[in-house]
Structure 1
């Protein structure tokens, strides 16, 4: 059904024969997340699949002029050391903004992208130190990331502390609403999607931070 509906909206799915679809089973008892059972594959996709994806993006861009592509790294083999530089070069040549939600293994490979969005834990692991929840510490962490990655905008999600956004001219820290957490599912995906749309629409940083926070809070 999904494969039938998506092409009508200019979207689609590339399937790989013999590769399982990631599934996550959560066990919740008395509003408490007990355990999660994952079924997934981590092997890197081949160069032929990477080229197929680039062709697919190029075809969509030719007809619809994409504003951005989100590289969402789950460390499941879709994005890896051999194809990340190729994807970035390809998207920059196409004039498509590159939005990245990284993971630990490939963290420092996403150089020369437009917007880079780690969470606090990922950023701390990458820079090798804790990030205290102060304006100065967040600004220093973002500046350190930018000095190595040469990205235009840095967004650091801070869980219950909200979201921090920095570009060449602005620094915005938007605190989150305090609420009871049962099972956080898809909050990071929601934030990167909304932040990417707001960024491409040219909204000012305070509004991007507000919308990103709302998106994340809705999934708590």
Structure 2
């Protein structure tokens, strides 16, 4: 498997076209039954809006570092404005077409004590006339992308999908479809379709035996002019089926918390990996791993490159390859993690020669939250702080070693002369929930502590492991060299 392709995810240029929607969540506690009717009263304490439908597919691609655009239909209303703002914050190049006479599709859920009390759907089906507005916009932006992903939720945005596929194929694009219709002839010309088992059966697929499933899948794609089918099979994993080959991928053994949006994660990951140059079989294997991660989270979750890298660790160790988040993308990844409600921990240091004290310290820091960011002094900063003989190891090597630790999620260099060799400006950019410093400092002496506290965060001071220091290791090495000579 070409795991080095994880470093090239930003080469994937994907246009998502389909039924976009706003997912709105009201969270609150329930303490009594309404006197007006036998229903619980939920005292709403927070409101959360998320991208849904095809917009969630685009979000999954953005969180994997793919370059992603989005075409969809919204109404001229507040929900459309909210969805547009969300897409901007998710770094998605949205091309939403406004339809005056119909509302933005919205799914509104009331959640209490981690249980959904009720869902309210605000929607009307868009017509073929509306879909042709998308077709016209598709023609305008198609040259900017290599892959076109159609996300069909049967809400009308893809009523003209036959013409859309023909347009994309005539332009030489690879086409993938998450289908909703049981009439697969609508998707003629597609390179990949990704039905689930129920959709497969509704389309005429037979599941009496494994051979029967394979034969009927091949018949369906042959009859409808489709290149290949990625059949998602719930606890049985998924199967990639084409005219001459079939590859089965067992479900990942993770505790299932919520299957919401798992199909979005599968097709988004598959497309991004193909866009990064990965072979189809390998791309499906990664998509299968991503699905296992997604269903272990609550809600329509996304998966990050770092999570994929950790989950694929056994393969990475065998090949000697390792995924390291590009420095330029780290702040974006941190922002995505915050949007997912993850607690961010920050610490910093030179980490010139990694030793047992460092490893224990970083593990302790990580245990305080969900993600650990390490600010790493650059080479010039270390020279100013430690003298002309330091650093022993250059910035790239130090960053690679740190990022390979299970406790470390991201590494960001700092230390320009303007920063005065402190991470204060970096901490202001990140605004971590918890700032960790090693040693016997007072909180008032720690760079960036005032900012973290002002944002409602916490500052923690951890003791170093006695007898462990980079300077001590260097001195031991010098003594050993002198004794030998």
Cα–Cα, structure 1 residues 178 and 203, in superposed 2: closer, same or farther, change >3 Å?
same
User: 1:117 & 1:143 partners in 2: Cα distance?
Assistant: 14
What is the aligned partner in structure 2 of residue 100 from structure 1? 177
Does the C-alpha gap of structure 1 residues 213 and 189 become closer, same or farther in structure 2, counting only changes over 3 Å? same
TM, length-normalised to structure 2: 0.39
Q: 1:152 aligns with which of 189, 213, 227?
A: 227
Aligned residues: 211
1:56 paired residue number: 137
CA-CA distance at 1:10 after TM superposition: 4.1
Matches of 2:118 and 2:219, distance apart in 1: 35
Q: Is the 8 A contact 1:33 1:182 kept in 2?
A: no
Where do 5+ consecutive residues of structure 2 fail to align? 1-81, 296-485
Query: In the alignment, is the contact (CA less than 8 A) between 1:33 and 1:183 conserved in 2?
Result: no
In 2, Cα distance between equivalents of 1:29 and 1:112: 45
Task: Choose from 229, 245, 268 the match for 1:193.
Answer: 268
Match of 2:99 in 1: 16
Residue deviations 1:83-106 (CA, integer Å, cap 9, x gap) = 122112211222222211111354
Residue 387 of structure 2 is matched in structure 1 by: none
Q: Determine if the alignment matches structure 1 residue 205 to structure 2 residue 257.
A: no
Matching of residues 72-111 of structure 1 within 5 Å: 72-80=151-159, 83-111=160-188
Which residue of structure 2 lines up, in the alignment, with residue 127 of structure 1? 204
Query: Does the 8 Å CA contact 1:173/1:209 hold for their aligned counterparts?
Result: no
Deviates more, 1:179-188 or 1:120-129: 179-188
Q: Which has the larger radius of gyration?
A: 2
Per-residue CA shift, 1:104-127, capped at 9, x if unaligned? 354331112111111111011111
Question: Which structure is higher in strand share?
Answer: 2
User: RMSD across aligned C-alpha pairs, in angstroms?
Assistant: 2.8
Once the two structures are TM-superposed, the CA of residue 184 in structure 1 deviates from its matched residue by: 2.1
TM-score (norm 1): 0.81
Q: Is residue 189 of structure 2 the alignment partner of residue 138 of structure 1?
A: no
1:127 is paired with a residue of what secondary structure? coil
Contact 1:132–1:138 (CA<8 Å) still a contact in 2? yes
The structure 1 residue matched to 2:121, chosen from 38, 49, 70, is 38
> 2:223 and 2:265 mapped to 1: Cα distance?
26
Unaligned runs of at least 5 residues, structure 1? none
Once residues 203 and 168 of structure 1 are traced to their aligned partners in structure 2, the CA distance between those partners, rounded to angstroms, is 20
Note if contact 1:176-1:217 (Cα within 8 Å) is conserved in structure 2. Answer: yes
In the alignment, the residues of structure 2 paired with residue 27 and residue 181 of structure 1 have an alpha-carbon distance, to the nearest angstrom, of 22
Greater shift after overlay, 179-188 or 113-122?
A: 179-188
Residue pair 1:72, 1:102 contacting (<8 A) in 2 also:
yes
Give the direction of change, closer, same or farther, for the CA distance of 1:30–1:159 in structure 2 (3 Å limit).
Answer: farther
